[in-house]
Structure formats: C-alpha cells, structure tokens
Structure 1
Amino acid sequence: MDIADIATPDFVEVDANERLGKVRAIFERENPKGVIVGEGGEYAGVIGEKQLINSHVEDNTKASALMKPVPKLDRHENVREVARMLVEGDTKVAPVYEGEKQYGIITQDGILEAVLENLDTLTVEQIFTSDVVTIGERDHLGQAINRLREHGISRLPVIDRDERLTGVLTTYDLVEFMVRDEGRQGKQDRRGDTDRMLDLPVYDLMTSPALTATPDESVRDAVARMLEQDIAGLVVTPEEDDGEVLGVLTKTDVLRALTYTEEEQMDVQVTNIDLLETLQRGDIISAITQVADKYQRMNVHHAHVRFHEHKEKLRGTPLIQCQIRLRTSHGQLAGSGEGYGAEHAFHVALDKLERNVLEVKGFEADERYRGQLLRKLNEL
C-alpha cells in the first residue's frame, strides 16, 4: 500500500516569519490537519495540530520557533517506509509531494485510519511498551514535568499509594492548564503563580479514569478507541482490571509495528536521527549488534533507539538523553543515559543496557531465530 489515497491536501501554508498568534487564528478557523512552513519560497518544515494549539509560546513568536524539519515524501511512497520516517523523525505530520509540486500532508492518524482493519491480526501484548514510567497522584506537577522531560515521553500513568492506576497525566494536560491559567491571570509577573501551580498535586490535573487496554485485546480495537477519543495512548492493564499498570500502548507503538517484516519481526529504528551529528547510524547498528552477538541465546526481535535533546548545553553541545529498548524472546530490555552530545549519551545508555542484559538469567537456545537481529541490521 502506498500513501497516494491517504495523503490529504487539507493543510495551511505559512511563512517562517509569520506570528504564531496569526497562525493559531488561521488554524482554528480553517481546522486543517497540519501546517506547512515555508522560507524564501522553499519548504522549511511542519507544525502539527496539537503542537500548535497547545504550545505554551507567546503569540508574537515566529512560526519557525515551533517548526520541525521533516523530509519531503513522495505521494506514492510505501506506507511502511512512511511509518518508519514518522517514527524516526518523532513527528505526527509530514509534507507530501508529487514530483516537484507540493500535494499536501500525511498524518499519523491518517495512516492508522487507513490500515485499521488490518490491525486485528496483532494483539496489544505484541507491541506495547512495558518499561513504563509512572507518577504518584500525590506527587507535585513539578515532579511530573521533570519526569516527562527526563524520559522524553508525553504521558504518565498515575498511581496511588498501593501502586494501582487512578488516572493519566499528559503533556497536553499540563500545557492546557498553564495556558488557561495564564489567560486568567493576565500578563503581569506570574513567577509566584507558576511556583504555586508546580506545587499542585498530580491528582488535581490528571484525567480519571484512565482509558485502558488489555494485553489480549486486538490492536485494531485499541487504535479505534484512541481515534474515537482523540488521544495518543492507552494504559495497559490486566484483563481482571485490578489496577495494575503493565505498560502503555501509543499510536507511535502501532506505527512502529507497521514496519514488521513478512515474518512479523521488527528491525532497528532510530528516533530523532537528526540529533546524531558525529555519531553515524552505522555506529549504532554495529554497537547493538555486538551486544546481541554476545548473548546469542537471547533472540532480539527489534531494537529502538531514541534520542531526546534537553535545553542544557556545555560549550555549545546540548545535553542529550538516549534510550535503547530491545524486544527479545525474554521480554523487553532497556538502557538509558545522558551525555553532552548524542555519541556520549548513546554509549552511556549502551553500557546500562548491557548490564541489564547480564542480569537476565536462564536464556534458552533457539536456533530458528539465532542471529536474526544481525540479518536484519544488514538489510538496512
């Protein structure tokens, strides 16, 4: 399947120097699926729907401040490759061209709607993320913000003192709250108000009850619920619904699943690949291969490497967080770390991953899948 029938001409085009206040007004009036940003008559980047509406950025700021550089896509590109690009670019929208002519955009939701009926062959258990990060309902919003930033994620399942699910808190909840409060308080010095908001308990802002999915549920049903409710993820809980948090299923997890091979196995993906700089994709592949090769009795089905840039810098080099997640025959294994520059962060995370792998005991030999990761890496 290609994206010829999925791409939509429903978008707004603005100049990189346009005020965000005007862009918001156009966007809210015309209700398009995304914003294409141009500069000097040439394509420069995109701004997503929720990114624009919910951003806590002054109206006088230029559109380029929210712009994300995303590669152009051919209108007849394969949907699997488009899914890979959206995941690796950490974006929900991308520009679509027909030759040299700009046709429109492709969105994450557009792809999921188009392939929805094909998702009944997958279960939530096969693709959800189990190394989930949670927050206590009595923790403060400031702690939640730090946790979201630290792990480069957009949602936190909220738990009570017994570690049972009571709700969910997302970055959109936080931004909406801050923008709403700002409008109520006006433009005066609000440092005290901001401190007060950060001290509020998560319980005051979380969405409750949280929408959930069970491991044995079909991905089709889970995605249909996300699209219907206009949310980006579901908390995964046991079928008996006892409040235990098993993990999270997001639309990005589903897009990643679309890159399954014919053998229903996945390969290596790098999210925010533009942050690599001195580190090359081949370096990442080689390093993960070496770790996998040391423990051949553990079959690695998929490797996902995610980079996230923090605002902090050292001599001009940004602080980067790297997360490496492996899906293996013995469950999910992960390692994360921070460093100044992607290369430093990656090696810190890789060292943590290898130590976590060493802790896994009792690997069983499985000749049919042995070396599978190596073969898939060579196909990239």
Structure 2
Amino acid sequence: MSTPADRSELTGPAPIDLGTLRTAPKVLLHDHLDGGLRPATVLELARDCGYEGLPADDAESLAEWFAAAAGSGSLVRYLETFEHTVAVMQTPAGLARVAAECALDLAEDSVVYAEVRFAPEQHLERGLTLDEVVHHTLLGFEEGIARARELGREIRIGCLLTAMRHAARSREIAELAVRFRDRGVVGFDIAGAEAGHPPSRHLDAFEHMRANNAHFTIHAGEAFGLPSIHEAIAFCGADRLGHGVRITDDIEIGPGGGAVLGRVANYVRDKRIPLELCPSSNVQTGAVASLEEHPFDVLARLRFRVTVNTDNRLMSATTMSGEMLALVRTFGYGWSDLERFTINAVKSAFIPFPDRLRLIDDVVKPGYAVLIG
C-alpha cells in the first residue's frame, strides 16, 4: 500500500484508490460509537455478559446480518440493529473496549480527528450511572489513542453525548455534556426517529447548552423533511445538522442546472451551517434512493459546507476511506475536492479555533499536498 512517504520523489497526483485514500488525513464529525463495533467484539462481549440475542454466532455471518438488516431502506428497521450492539455495551469493560477499538480502527484509516457520539442513557441496564458510563467510555478512548500512538498513528477524539429524541432525558444529558466538557466531551446531540419527535420538544436542553457556551448538533432532515431542519436551526440554534439531506426540499434545480434556494436553504448556506452527510447510511435508511441520486454533489457545487461521514461503520460496512471512494467513483472528485471536504470538517469541529488551525495547516494541507503532487 502506498503512503505519503513513498511519494516523496514523485510528481503529479497519486491515483485515487482505496490504498492511497487510506493514507489521506481525514476528519470525521458524525460517527456513532454503538454503530462501529467489530463483529468479533460483539460476539465476545455477548459471551462475557450472557447476552443470547445475537442473530449469528460467527463474525463473518454477523457482519453480513448487520449490513443486510441495515440496508432495508427503513430508518426504523435500521435503528433496530442497535439493540444488539447496545446490549453488549452495559459494563465498564465493554464500554472501554468498544471505545478503545473505535479509536484504533479510525486511526488505522488515517482519521486524525473524530467526534464520536453515543447515548449514555442507553447503557444503564446493569446498574451504571450516567457519569460512570461517560467516565469509562472516555477512558477507553484514551487507551485507544495511546495504543494508536504506539503504532505510529496520531488521532484526537472528541465525544458527543446524545439524547434520544423519543425519551425525556435530554436536559439531563445536556447537563452531563457540560459536566464532562473539560474531560473529553465536546458537545451534545439528539438522535432517534424524527417523525413525531421534533427537536423543539427538547428546547430546555439546547437552552442549557447555549447558557453554558457549549456546542451541539441535531439529527435533522434525514428521514423527515424541511420542518425538522427549520426547527433545528430557527428554534433550537443548532451549530451543525446531522445529515440534513432534506435541505434539497428547499432547492429548485432548473433545466439548465441553475438553482433557486428557498429561505431555509439560503440561511443554512449563508450561515455556513455544516451538513454532516453520510452517503452510504443515507441510502440504507431510505433518506435518498441511491448514491447517484444523493444530493452531496449538488450541495457541494452550491458551496454548502458539506462534510463526509460514516454514521455507523458496522451497519454500513464502511470506513471514511470507503465513503470517499464511493463519492469519487460516483461524482468524479479529485484530491482537491477531498481536501476541501476535509477542511470543511475541520472548520466545523467542536474544538478551539487554534486547534482547528493547527489541524489544517500542520496535518491536512501537508497530507493532501503530497497526494495532489
């Protein structure tokens, strides 16, 4: 496999294939911890904790089941796959192991910064408190980061704490996010089925985040339309939109390719509100019909702040390199485009401005300069 160092004396752009993509520095903003477990780890943790509900008893078959179940075209069915992963993440050891392996797997794919989210309220079945759940998860991230460094790979991870939009604990989770923000938590999120659960039902949580000058993103515009996006930005004040693909409901493309943007779409673009787009997942959940019909390219050409994300690496059988390769093959992107999408993600990260600048100037730009040639 080629690496940037291998090209030190070469000129011209590197070929864009999975091998070279795995060497490119990447920034990931939308990745669910409980959607990225290794199949073998799911099996081992299930044995350790006595969970007997798995649909397969070997890693390969289990991986195939997750991909098939998640590819049903229904967000509700997609979310049901998490019953199995969450079930094996109920102990300190289970949480820490999953977090450590997440860090290692992302670092192996040359992800240099990632924001990984999970819902602490879903990990209380064996008596852990919310604080204990977050504590052990953050310890796992630290362990994985240290192990990655021993292997010569640098990664930084910020944790996002998610509240489930159908539940009534969002204010409590927002308080938890603020409580842990100097210990590895960088923001707050709400997730779950959108229909019937508008973000405005959680205003007190978002008000708490704003009162404490803390960051938050909102899953909006994935399975539900423009009203979800409008509420997320107009009433809740979201810093970013999780998915946001349905922003195209407010964009009219003319016969000649020109675009007319409605007021919501104009606002999202003008305010540079980042879109956490997850191409493979968006197809699996039925948010878009196919990758060819994904609005990523339209939004990129219209200069929305688009970012590339994995969402759930286990369910989508994907990586950041895989998502980038799919976009390259579908829309013909080159290294400069991928660099732009990566810089978009850095600019949108919930870390201090000087840290974002260092990532861009010291890591992303030099890494892509070698690949661009």
TM-score (norm 1): 0.25
Query: More strand by proportion, 1 or 2?
Result: 1
Structure that is richer in helix per residue: 2
Structure with larger Rg:
1
